[in-house]
Amino acid sequence: QVQLVESGGGVVQPGGSLRLSCAASGFSFSSFGMHWVRQAPGKGLEWVSFIRYDESYKYYADSVKGRFTISRDTSKNTLYLQLDSLTAEDTAVYYCAKAHQYTFPDYWGQGTLVTVSS
């Protein structure tokens, strides 16, 4: 069965950086795109980024463009999200999600919490 396990969250100061990881199993990781979606405490879902299965396309929400970088390592079946220049508005649970063939998220991890605070 599909399993997605996020890690790397924690408390970071404003202006700091963090790298999130998402370990994938139970499917052919190299064949599917992947998403990052975040949810601020008590708020709704915000789509953050998508990477195509072959890394040929990477998309970002305007709110994170130029600060976050999505990548993947097929040899490790792992998705990454590099978070730089963090602000309090980036505080959220970050979910990774496998993309269906037609790009919508179909399986989600449990999420990892990022808290930006001094």
Partner 1 sequence: DIVMTQSPDSLAVSLGERATINCKSSQSVLYSSNNKNYLAWYQQKAGQPPKLLFYWASTRESGVPDRFSGSGSGTDFTLTISSLQVEDVAVYYCQQYYSTPHSFGQGTKLEIK
For the segment 35-94, give every residue that binds partner 1 (CB under 8 A). Answer: 35, 37, 44-47, 50, 59-62
> What ranges in the chain are assigned the alpha helix state H?
none
* Rounded-to-10 torsion of CA 95, 57, 88, 42: -40
8-state DSSP, 85? S
110 binds partner 1 per the rule CB under 8 A: yes
Q: Is 77 left (phi over 0), alpha (psi -120 to 50) or beta?
A: left
| 28/103 with CB nearer partner 1 | 103
Minimum CB distance to partner 1 smaller for 75 or for 102: 102
Stretch that binds partner 1, among 13-21, 22-30, 82-90, 106-114 (CB under 8 A): 106-114
What's the min distance (Å) between Cβ of 118 and partner 1? 28
Question: What DSSP character marks residue 100?
Answer: P
